[in-house]
Amino acid sequence: MGWRVNANNLNLNRDYLKADSPEMQAWLKMFNTWMPDFFIDTHTTDGADYQYVLTYEMELYGDMEAGLTDWANNIFLKDWSAQLDTAGFPVFPYIVFRNWENPESGIDNSVGAPMLSEVYTSLRTDPDC
């Protein structure tokens, strides 16, 4: 896994919840003002060799409202991935190994931590959050 930090040695991709960095504080101010209906975080990894043009990560394991999770799984992802596949750009879910150093440990698909963008923004879809 790649690890990219700002001048204060903070990884912005892990700072959504704590907002220790001035960059994330500014981003959160923009996000809270705008409150988008749909959010996509795109970034690369420089530590894994995925054989797909694009891998994606969506919070589909229990953090979102049930209807939104159903739409993401059964409508958005199916249509989006089919269109990209037809265009010659097959996509695949981003994977995390149960033990990152050991691919034989299996794949971990579970609720993520809110320090990550896809979890933080998914939790924010809940008006009570």
- 57-63 average pLDDT score: 82
Identify the pLDDT of residue 127.
Answer: 58
Q: Would you say residue 19 has pLDDT above 90?
A: yes
**The CA-based dihedral angle spanning residues 68, 69, 75, 78, taken in that order and rounded to the nearest 10 degrees:** 150
Identify the pLDDT of residue 129.
Answer: 54
Distance CA 82, CA 61 (A): 22
Q: Is the pTM of this model over 0.85?
A: no
Q: What is the mean pLDDT of the chain?
A: 85
Distance CA 32, CA 73 (A): 25
Nearest alpha-carbon partner for 68 in 129, 123, 128: 123
